[in-house]
Amino acid sequence: MALLDAQTWTGNIAAGEWLPGDGAPLTVREAATGEVLGELGAASVEQVAASAARAAVAQRAWAAVTPSARAAVLRRAADIFERDAEEITAWIVRESGGTWTKAGSEVLAAMGECREASALPTHPHGEVLQSNKPRWSIARRVPAGVVAVIAPFNYPLTLAIRSVAPALALGNAVLLKPDPRTSVCGGVAIQRVFEEAGLPAGVLQTLPGGAEVGAAVVGAHEVRIISFTGSTAAGRFVGEAAARQMKRAHLELGGNNAIIVLPGADITKAAAAGAFGSFMHQGQICQTTGRHLVHVSQYDEYVAELARIADSLRVGDPFREDGVQLGPIIDDRQLAGVAALVADTVAAGATVAAGGTSDGRFFRPTVLSGMTAAMPAWHEEIFGPVAPVLAYGSIDEAVEIVNSSEYGLAVGILGDVGTALTVADRVESGKVHINEQTVGDEANAPFGGVGASGNGARFGGPTANIEAFTETQWVTVRAEIEHYEIKA
């Protein structure tokens, strides 16, 4: 039977076993055409509560499993992602609207996340501390318990597995709530992989549904940590709800990331980098390059080259057409938002140097010139294939423009390395890439932003993951019971 055989998930949720969802069913659709691909069960609020209780019981047994056994499950999961890469990739293409290259990169990322996480069970999990008493004093990291993972539509597999894999490896149970628009490739696929990898029942449960399911997952008494990736607006609600319940929330939110093209940079290479950063996956990435700052001496040349690249890119249905470089916007609501932002910016005085049109859900890669920092497409996150370009006169001005944004996720600096290093010291951003564009992620590297982009690096690498998905416990040990004298 195929890994994602519809007989398994049609009408069902994964709550310890595959069983009918009591919520309103989710229609699974192809992003490019709207074609119905199936019907997935959705959890009810009551089922979320039952799953959280079940997870708490399963977690205690899972945490008691030897580190090598937990590591083996993660390694087997990576092998299954590799074995069934073609099937999973096709689902990502159809459900999320990504190109085959983008979808394939998600499967490779899932393999990498699982293999990286497989090292976590045997990583050092504490410190031996000095003490003024005759005893051993130890600070050790212990599993947090039940972790909720809420993932978005744009990179549905990558942005779920990067929390699911380390949380499981470190001895936690996980409640996974995927986006309703990508619940097969970002939910069912992960569930089925870990089932085949031998993860005990109840340790990972996948609970599709809408906002009410997300709220129930966050509010479940047994959940101690919430890992949320999504919009800044939604993240604020999640963070507020978590704070009221004294829970930790790891928030990876929006971005309005900037590329700074330094004076004298190779414009052909810089524009190619800028195009990749703005148009990859139709600009539907939190790390998308949303602002291009180019020195006034090379501004016209950069705009012309960026527009040339934009006009040359092929937009279409990646599942049915060869050579497609940009697929569809995820849904009509998102498409309308991108179109409105471009229209408002043009009405404010910007010029469309390329693109600016759409055919169905297919929005042409768009270059906007004549920008000012007050225009909507400059200071708002677009989440579409739009590249606004602004001229700057000095390095100080460029740094000030970058830091004026409420977001602080990623910055790319293109050109002279010495100058770029000094600029890197001054920009407020969770990630800085010199002579690279803004989109980039690796399983062993910390990932996160500041300001409206989130509450810091909470993903990637052993340091961030162990910090994110465990609690610190202080343990002391004496050879004999200490003598206590109660004095008047």
23 and 209 Cβ atoms separated by less than 8 Å: yes
CATH of 257-434, one of 1.10.287.130, 2.60.120.10, 3.40.309.10, 3.40.50.970: 3.40.309.10
pLDDT average, residue stretch 289-303:
98
Q: Establish whether 286 is a catalytic residue.
A: yes
Percent of the chain with pLDDT over 90: 98
What the block records as the tokens of 346 is 């043009």
Structure confidence at residue 217 as a pLDDT band (50, 70, 90): very high
The active-site residue out of 116, 185, 286, 305 is 286
Distance CA 449, CA 428 (A): 9
| DSSP one-letter string for 325-342 | SB---SSHHHHHHHHHHH
Q: How far apart are CA 180 and CA 171, in angstroms?
A: 27
User: From 3.40.50.300, 3.40.605.10, 3.40.50.150, 3.60.21.10, which CATH number describes the 6-253+454-475 domain?
Assistant: 3.40.605.10
Residue 271 CA to residue 305 CA, distance in Å, equals 6
Q: Please, what is the average pLDDT of the chain?
A: 97
Please give the Cα distance from 118 to 384 (Å, whole number). 35
Catalytic residue among 30, 116, 252, 381: 252
Q: Pairing mode, if any, of strands 289-295 and 386-392?
A: parallel
Give the DSSP per-residue string, 391-460. Answer: EESSHHHHHHHHHTSSEESEEEEES-HHHHHHHHTTS--SEEEETS-S----TTS-B--EETTBSS--BS
Domain ranges of the chain: 6-253+454-475, 257-434
Residue 465's φ and ψ, nearest 5 degrees, are -70, -40
pTM passes above 0.75: yes
Q: What is the pLDDT of residue 457?
A: 66
CA–CA distance, 313 with 326 (Å, rounded to integer): 7
For residue 475, pLDDT over 90 is answered with yes
How many Å apart are CA 463 and CA 124, to the nearest integer? 10
Residue range 340-373, pLDDT digits in tens: 999 999 999 999 999 999 999 999 999 999 999 9
Centroid of chain to Cα 17 = 27
Q: pLDDT of 396-406, one tens digit each? A: 999 999 999 99
pLDDT one-digit tens code per residue, 99-133: 999 999 999 999 999 999 999 999 999 999 999 99
Using CA atoms in the order 386, 410, 153, 272, what is the torsion angle rounded to 10 degrees? 40
User: Is 252 a residue of the active site?
Assistant: yes
Residue pair 446/440 in contact by the 8 Å Cβ criterion: no
